[in-house]
Every structure is written in C-alpha cells, then in structure tokens.
C-alpha cells in the first residue's frame, strides 16, 4: 500500500517542487528589481531555458514539435538580448530588429502547438471541429485584446504606423496562441506537455498585454519580465516532457471534454455582451462596429459548430438504428438465442428467438419454468443452473441441459451471467445454443475410443477398465471374477487362403456367436487380431467359468459361412480366477498364459491357469529376449559331425550343426531355440550366417588338405528358410564368398518343410538344383511318409532317421530299414544312416549296401579345429572293416 501511495504521489511531488522552484525564481527576480542583477538573472534564465529545450530535441516521435518549441524560446531569448544591446547603445527600440526575433518566436510556437494538437486516427470531421473551436476562442480573445489595447494602439496617430502595426501584432498572435492552446488542451486532455505549453503561452500573453498597457514601452517592469521568464521555463519543460514526444498518440475525447468544448464555444458568445456591459458600467464610449463584427463571426462559428453536432448526432442515431437492424437480422438467422430473465424467472425480452430454437410456443412474459417444461428440459436441472448464475454475482456460468424432443434426445448449451446491476440490462442474460450434433459426435468418438471398430465389441482399454471395476466391486462386496482368454485356431490359414477381407467377415461372425453366449452384465471384448476375452464379473466358482468356456467352444463348433464357403475354426481358451491380490493386468495375463497352454496342448480346449504355468512363460520370454542378440553377441557357433563312407571308413563330408551357449541360460539345444527363432523372425538371418560359416570351413579344408578335395558340407534348411525368396541369393553369396563348389554343398530339408507349401517348395528346390547344389531329404519316414513327395520333389540324398537305426539290435536288419535302403537304391539316391552308435548297426548297414553313415560310433559333433584334425588322422580301413 505504501508503494502505491509513493508511486501515485510522485507526479504531485514533482509538480509541487516545480511550482516552489518557479515561485522562488520569481521572488528572487522581483527582489533584484532596480539592480543590474535583475536583468542578468532574466537573460540567464531565458537562455538556459533555450539550452534545456534544445537538449530535449533528440531523435524520436514528436521531434518536430520539440524543435519548434526550442526554436521559439531561442528566438525570444535572442530578441531580449538584441533589445538590451540596442537600448544600451542608445538606439530606438520601439521598432527594431528585436521585434523580428520576437514575432518569429510566436510563429514557431504556433507551429509547435499545431503539430502537438494532431491525434492519431482522428477523422477529418474531428480535425475540422477542432479548428472551429480554436477560431472561436481566437475571435473571442482577439475581441478582448482589441478592446483593451489594439484599438487604442492602432488609432494612436502620434506613433509611427510601423510601430502601431507591430504592437498590434503581439496581442493578435497571443490570441492565436490562446486558440491553439485551447485546441491542444481540449484534444489531449491532461497531457502534461500540453498543459505546460498552455501555461507558458499564457504567461507570455499576460506579459505582452501588461507591456502594451504600460505608458512607457522602453523599460518593462520586473513583473512583466518575470512573466516572460516563467513562460520560457514552462515551454522548456514542455519540450522536455515525454508526452510531447508522442504527438500522434491516440487520445479519445471523453464526454466531459466534449461538454467543456461546447461550453467554451457558447461562452464565447457572451464576450461581446460582456464588453458592452463593462463599458456601460464604466461610462466609456467605444465603437460598436468591432463588437458587432466579432459577434457576427462568433454566431456564425457557433452555428456551424452546433449544426455539425446535430448532424453528428443524426448520423450516430442512424448508425445505432442500422446496427440494431443488423443485429436483429443476424439474430433472426442465428442458431443461437439470447434472452434476458428477471431473477424471479420471468422473461424480460421477446422469447421468439428462443422459442424458435426450442420449437415451442411461448408468449411474452413467460417464465423459465414454463420454457423448461414445454421444451422437455428437466425443471430441477434448469432451476439449479439459474440459481448458480444468480449466486455467481456477475461471473459466467455454463451448463449443458438434456431434453426430450419428440422421443429424441437433444442437448442445449447455455451460458448465463447475472447483469441485474447493469441499468442497460437489468436481468440475467441467457445465451442458448443447440449442441446436439456436438454431443452426438462426442458420444461417437467415445464409443470408438472404447470399442472395436470391426466387431463393435469392447476393446482392450474398456475391457481393462471393466476388469478393474469388477475387482473393486468384489473386494467390497465379495464374489469372484473370472477372465476367459480366447484365441482362434486356424485363423491365419483363413487369412492366407481367402484373404484379409474374408478374415474380417469371419471375425464379425465369430463375435456375433460369442455375444450370444454371454450373460447380461458380463463383458465380451476383442483384444486384437483373433484374440477375444470374456469377463465374468461374478461367478459361483470354477465350474461356472468352465461352463462358460464350453459354451464358447460349442458356439464355434459349427462351420461359419464365409464367401459362400464353410470355414471351420476352433478356439483355445484360458481361464483365470481372481484371487485376493489380483489386478486387471495380472488377471488378463494369467488367462493369456492358460490360453497359450491350451493351444500348445492340442487346441480346441479349455485350460485353467495354474501358477506353474507362469514360470514356464517367464522362462520362454527370457529365452526369446536372450535369443534376440545371440548372433550379434557371438553366442552362436557351429559343430561338425562327420559323414563316413561305410565301405572304407573315410570321412567324406560333414554336417554343420548349430549350437547356442547363452551366458544367462547356458547351453540350449537346437530343438528348443530354433522354433523360437522361427517365431521371432530370426531364422533367416541365422540361417544365412550358418551357410556362410559352413561353406567357408568346407572350402578351407578342401584347399588345405589334398585328401579332402571331394569333401561335402551338409547344412539344414528350415521350412521358413525354404519359403524365403532370399534363400537362393544367400546360398549364391555364401558359395561365391567361400569359393566352395556348388556340388560340395548339401542342403537338408525335412518332409514337413516340403508339404507346408508344396508349390513354393517345388519352385525353390528347382532353383537350388539349378545352382548345382545337392539336396537331401532328412528324417524320411517320420513325417507324412508319402512316396508321392519323392516323385514331386527331386532330391539326391535320402537320410534314414535315427529312430529307425535304433531298431537294429539283432542278427537281421529290420524290414523297415531294409525297405528304406531298397527304396533309395531303386530311386538311385545316396543313402545316409543317422544315429549309428553300435558296431552291429554299422555292419548290418554295410551289408545292406547303405552308402554313408554318421553317429557317435564314428565321432561326436566336433569343433572346426577338431574336425580338421580328424581329416589329418589316418583311417584304419581294416579296423573299420573288422568292426574294431
């Protein structure tokens, strides 16, 4: 509070201090009257004022006005100096060169006042009215000056004509300055620069009149000099004022200033009568011609001013009426309505616009209660909103009100503000608009945010929220919630064979069937892809959840007609029951884990979650995470199992086998991590690396060892690799980089890989044979075991699975093994027996004319270094032949 007081009192203190300083200056000057120091002080002050004024004429807005003020003060000071010099040297001073400087100072000051009176954005009408007011004041003051001094001065024939004219110019110019000051002050209000200029010009006017009224024009008294001196100081202050530097600043004319200007114009009409009254009271004679002429001019000017005011008022009224018509037209075609209501609830304005908006009929003076009732708005809600607006005391209150219109729900948006204290309003302003379309759009967006766009079922977000609500409800009131997690079996085959559009149709049909099995109050959702979830908010126990699962399986048992084709799909369902510490995430996750167990356990079944399943899933997730960076981290390696010629025991080739040693999980067998690599999409990158490494190792051995020039290298190719369009390019690159002949590379494929997509497999095998590589059918007899595949897919090598070799344990060869060997011979295929571990197996296979064999009887899988050492070791053919 103290800071505000100090800031507010700052200008008053400065003005008060300035007045005290000026008063002290005048006092000193009057005290020195009759001494040379009085003149010295006067000249020093006026010249210092000129210097101060020039110091304030730096660059910036309003510089022209400041320069003119400084020029006016300077010319006045120069005139004073010339007048004193001429007087001291005995020259006549009644008319002299000093008068040129004096008159020039008036002209400069008049130009400054004209420049300062300009207001930015002022219309031509306002500028003309300002000049009319200035002329009115000028004529009135000029008439007074004429009666006081000018008439006597100009008619005094004892004085030279030039002197009389010059002496008449001074009061005339003073009158002009007074008119310009009035225009400036009236247009700029309380502008400090304008007030300072007005005060300075007033001081000069008073001194000029006093000088002309004195009998002796040669030595003006100190009091008159004080007036000129103070005037110069005030003009210097104006030149330094910051407000003068913004002459174009907008200064709207307030109502009080307008009345003041009109009062001055009318008061000017009293000046002639006042002069007549003074002469009558004094009993002096005068010539009435000047009074009559001035009165005529003033009447004409005031008439012009009044006529312009009346015209401006007429135009303003016309503008108001036009604006009212425009507003009425806009309101008539607007979708909004604005009415004013008393605090008692009675309508103050016409209800036609609001009645049209609400499609109701309301007579003038109706109450808000009638409006709400007829429009289908809840009366209690409307009254509550109105009461809030009244209690808000001028603050805006917004609300949305639902209403029933012909059985259809619509919405009304209202904004209310209590302006009862405003005399122009006198009530509560209600702005209403129909927001039905916006509310419907919001509802649509909300539905899309929480529902699946394809099936219309709840989505994952809404399902999670419903699970959380069920868990909170059951925690308070008891009960058990259950989640069923469903994944369709065989859906990918439908997408691949019939297309994604058919897959979408299937999902919608499945959703309809599932919805028919759901109880009221439970939530069915599509979580994404072909995964659905069902929330049983309250169950009697596991039996009820299992029954719900069986209903789902039954609903999916019947084929679904898609594009006129019957499509059969089943579902794998996992069930999780909520326990005391369950959350929405954990409950859905446990049901997902149980579903995965159902899918891996045979599909088309229901499995209930068991905590042990979580450990298996965690282990699977860890395996997947570790496998992601296994190749880049150098954790994968190759071992090589030799392929031996049974006839002489020579190592004729190797089979490259992939191994993974994880620093976290340890050694992981291929049958465990290879399927995971296929699921993760890593098998192609890993397979390309295996090809490069195996080809490089075989090529190196063939170059370094003359006895291994015919050495072959076998590499397993998975079903995913076989279907890849990049396989041929990868093999070509590996052969080119290593320098291994194409005939030395044997690609091993399984029956399962061939029958997954027979057409693609046939094209790939033909392309591989075109490269010159050899093809081997691995694990023959353990898969589909169809002889048609041997006719459809041309291969070079037939590998007998270890499971058949393990049956060789007697004196004779099992018929299945003999049949496989004979089949290979018939088809002119090279026969390789896998898993040979006993001498008996080797001898019987050799006796049956099996070409090659591999197994622990010959060597376990070896590292690259050990495999090369095996190539260097001499082969004991006799020992092999004797079974040693």
Residue among 203, 198, 182 nearest 243 (CA):
198
Contacts of 238 (CB under 8 A, 6+ apart): 69, 193, 194, 196, 197, 200, 244
How far apart, in whole angstroms, are the C-alpha atoms of residue 687 and residue 680? 13
Element (H, E) at 787: helix 787-792
Question: How would DSSP label each residue in 10-73?
Answer: HHHHHHHHHHHHHHHHHHHHHHTTTSHHHHHHHHHHHHHHHHHHHHT--SSTTHHHHHHHHHHH
Residue among 851, 858, 875, 882 nearest 708 (CA):
875
CATH code assigned to 626-872 = 3.20.20.450
Q: Confirm if 352 and 360 have CB atoms less than 8 A apart.
A: no
Contacts of 497 (CB under 8 A, 6+ apart): none
pLDDT along the chain (884 residues), means of 10: 39 55 72 75 81 76 78 82 76 70 82 71 70 78 74 72 75 79 67 71 76 59 77 77 48 54 71 72 70 75 76 80 71 68 77 67 67 74 84 85 76 85 84 80 76 90 92 85 91 78 90 90 90 89 90 90 82 90 90 88 86 82 89 94 93 95 92 86 92 95 89 91 89 94 92 73 87 88 57 83 88 88 89 93 92 94 93 56 36
Name residue, tokens 């700052």: 10
Task: Classify 338 as helix, strand or coil.
Answer: strand
CA dihedral sign, ordered 671, 675, 680, 681: positive
Extents of the domains making up the chain: 18-306, 334-442, 451-609, 626-872
CB atoms within 10 A of CB 786: 12
Q: Which two tokens stand for residue 656?
A: 């490259």
Would 451-609 and 626-872 be classified into the same CATH topology?
no
Q: Confirm if 665 and 641 have CB atoms less than 8 A apart.
A: no
How far apart, in whole angstroms, are the C-alpha atoms of residue 652 and residue 521? 71
Give CA separation, 174 vs 91, 138, 575, 599, 840, in Å: 27, 9, 106, 110, 143
Partners of 831 in beta bridges: 798
Residue among 640, 637, 597 nearest 617 (CA):
597
Query: How would you write 194-223 as a 3-class SS string?
Result: HHHHHHHHHHHHHHHHHHHHCCCCCCCCHH
Q: Decide the pairing of beta strands 531-539 and 397-405.
A: unpaired
Q: Confirm if 857 and 842 have CB atoms less than 8 A apart.
A: yes
CATH code assigned to 451-609 = 3.30.70.270
Phi, psi for residue 92 in degrees, rounded to 5 = -70, 135
Angle subtended at Cα 660 by Cα 654 and Cα 661, rounded to the nearest 5 degrees: 125
Task: Classify 579 as helix, strand or coil.
Answer: coil
How far apart, in whole angstroms, are the C-alpha atoms of residue 76 and residue 265? 31
Give the chain's length.
884
How far apart, in whole angstroms, are the C-alpha atoms of residue 346 and residue 370? 10
Question: How would DSSP label each residue in 460-528?
Answer: HHHHHHHHHHHHHHHHHH--EEEEEEEEEETHHHHHHHH-HHHHHHHHHHHHHHHHHHPPTT-EEEEEE
Q: Confirm if 116 and 137 have CB atoms less than 8 A apart.
A: no
pLDDT of 255: 53
How is residue 558 annotated by DSSP?
A: S
Question: How would DSSP label each residue in 276-322?
Answer: HHHHHHHT----HHHHHHHHHHHHHHHHHHHHHHHHHHHHHHHHHHH
Q: Decide the pairing of beta strands 397-405 and 636-645.
A: unpaired
Q: Which two tokens stand for residue 425?
A: 């309003």
Q: Is 533 left (phi over 0), alpha (psi -120 to 50) or beta?
A: beta
Give CA separation, 399 vs 414, 446, 703, in Å: 5, 20, 89
Q: What are the residue ranges of helices labelled H in 562-682? A: 584-600, 611-628, 670-680
How far apart, in whole angstroms, are the C-alpha atoms of residue 528 and residue 169? 100
CA dihedral sign, ordered 337, 341, 345, 346: negative
Q: Choose which CATH entry (3.30.450.20, 3.20.10.10, 3.40.1350.10, 3.40.50.300) describes domain 334-442.
A: 3.30.450.20
Exposed/middle/buried for 354, CB within 10 Å: 0-12, 13-18, 19+?
buried
Contacts of 773 (CB under 8 A, 6+ apart): 731, 742, 743, 745, 746, 747
């Amino acid at each position: 509070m103290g800071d505000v007081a100090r800031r507010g009192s700052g200008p008053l203190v400065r003005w008060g201090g300035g007045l005290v300083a000026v008063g002290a200056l005048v006092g000193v000057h009057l005290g020195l009257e009759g001494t040379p120091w009085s003149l010295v002080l006067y000249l020093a002050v006026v010249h210092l004022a000129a210097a101060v004024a020039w110091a304030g004429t730096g660059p910036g807005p309003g510089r022209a006005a400041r320069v003119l003020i400084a020029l006016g003060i300077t010319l006045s000071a120069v005139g004073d100096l010339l007048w004193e010099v001429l007087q001291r040297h005995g020259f006549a001073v009644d008319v002299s060169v000093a008068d040129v400087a004096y008159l020039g100072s008036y002209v400069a000051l008049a130009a400054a006042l004209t420049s300062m009176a300009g207001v930015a954005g002022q219309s031509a009408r306002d500028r003309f009215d300002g000049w009319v007011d200035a002329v009115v004041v000028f004529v009135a003051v000029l008439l007074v000056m004429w009666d006081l001094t000018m008439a006597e001065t100009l008619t005094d024939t004892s004085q030279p004509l030039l002197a009389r004219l010059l002496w008449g110019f001074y009061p005339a110019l003073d009158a002009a300055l007074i008119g310009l000051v009035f225009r400036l002050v009236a247009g700029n209000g309380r502008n400090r620069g304008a007030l300072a200029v007005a005060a300075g010009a007033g001081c000069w006017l008073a001194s000029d009149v006093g000088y002309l009224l004195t009998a002796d024009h040669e030595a003006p008294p100190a009091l008159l000099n004080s007036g000129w001196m103070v005037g110069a100081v005030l003009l210097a202050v104006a030149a330094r004022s910051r407000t003068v530097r913004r002459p174009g600043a907008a200064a709207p004319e307030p109502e009080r200033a307008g009345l003041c200007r009109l009062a001055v114009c009318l008061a000017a009409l009293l000046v002639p009568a006042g002069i007549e009254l003074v002469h009558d009271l004094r009993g002096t004679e005068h010539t009435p011609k000047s009074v009559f002429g001035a009165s005529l001019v003033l009447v004409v000017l005031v008439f012009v001013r009044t006529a312009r005011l009346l015209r401006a008022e007429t135009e303003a009224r016309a503008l108001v009426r036009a604006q009212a018509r425009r507003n009425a037209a806009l309101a008539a075609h607007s979708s909004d309505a604005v009415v004013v209501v008393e605090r008692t609830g009675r309508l103050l304005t016409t209800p036609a616009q609001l009645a049209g908006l609400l499609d109701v009929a309301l007579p003038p003076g109706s109450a808000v209660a009638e409006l709400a009732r007829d429009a289908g708005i809840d009366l209690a809600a409307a009254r509550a909103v109105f009461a809030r607006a009244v209690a808000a005391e001028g603050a805006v209150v917004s609300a949305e009100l639902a209403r029933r219109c012909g059985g259809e729900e619509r919405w009304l948006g209202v904004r209310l503000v209590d302006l009862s204290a405003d005399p122009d309003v006198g009530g509560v302003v209600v702005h209403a608009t129909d927001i039905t379309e916006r509310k419907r759009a919001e509802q649509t967006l909300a539905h899309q945010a929480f529902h699946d766009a394809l099936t219309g079922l709840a989505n994952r977000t809404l399902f999670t929220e419903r699970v959380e609500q069920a868990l909170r409800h059951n925690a308070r009131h008891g009960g058990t919630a259950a989640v069923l997690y469903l994944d369709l079996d065989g859906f990918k085959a439908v997408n691949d064979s019939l297309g994604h559009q058919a897959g979408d149709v299937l999902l919608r049909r499945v959703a309809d069937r599932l919805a028919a099995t759901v109880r009221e109050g439970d939530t069915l959702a599509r979580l994404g892809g072909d995964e659905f979830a069902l929330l049983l908010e309250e169950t009697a126990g596991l039996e009820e959840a299992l029954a719900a699962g069986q209903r789902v399986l039954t609903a999916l048992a019947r084929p679904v007609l898609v594009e006129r084709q019957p499509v059969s799909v089943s579902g794998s369902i996992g069930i999780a029951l909520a326990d005391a510490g369950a959350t929405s995430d954990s409950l859905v996750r446990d049901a997902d884990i149980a579903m995965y167990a159902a899918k891996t356990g045979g599909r088309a079944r229901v499995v209930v979650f068991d905590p042990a399943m979580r450990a298996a899933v965690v282990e699977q997730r860890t395996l997947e995470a570790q496998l992601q960076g296994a190749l880049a981290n150098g954790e994968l390696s190759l071992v090589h199992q030799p392929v031996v010629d049974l006839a002489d025991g020579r190592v004729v080739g190797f089979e490259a086998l992939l191994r993974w040693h994880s620093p976290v999980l340890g050694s992981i067998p291929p049958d465990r991590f290879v399927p995971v690599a296929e699921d993760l999409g890593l098998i192609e990158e890993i397979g390309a690396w295996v090809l490069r490494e195996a080809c490089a190792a075989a090529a190196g051995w063939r170059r370094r060892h003359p006895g291994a020039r015919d050495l072959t290298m076998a590499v397993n190719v998975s079903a995913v690799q076989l279907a890849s369009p990049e396989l041929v390019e990868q093999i070509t690159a590996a052969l080119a980089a290593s320098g291994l002949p194409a005939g030395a590379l044997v690609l091993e494929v399984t029956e399962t890989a061939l029958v997954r997509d027979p057409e693609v497999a046939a094209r790939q095998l033909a392309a591989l044979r075109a490269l010159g590589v050899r093809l081997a059918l691995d694990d023959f007899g353990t898969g589909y075991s169809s002889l048609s595949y041997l006719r459809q897919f041309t291969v070079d090598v037939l590998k007998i699975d270890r499971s058949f070799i393990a049956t060789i344990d007697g004196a004779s060869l099992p018929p299945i093994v003999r049949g496989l060997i004979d089949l290979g011979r018939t088809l002119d295929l090279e026969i390789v027996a896998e898993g040979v571990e006993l001498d008996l197996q080797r001898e019987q296979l050799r006796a049956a004319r099996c070409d090659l064999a591999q197994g622990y009887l010959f060597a376990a899988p070896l590292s690259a270094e050990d495999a090369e050492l095996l190539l260097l070791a001499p082969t004991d053919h006799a020992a092999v032949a004797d079974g040693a």
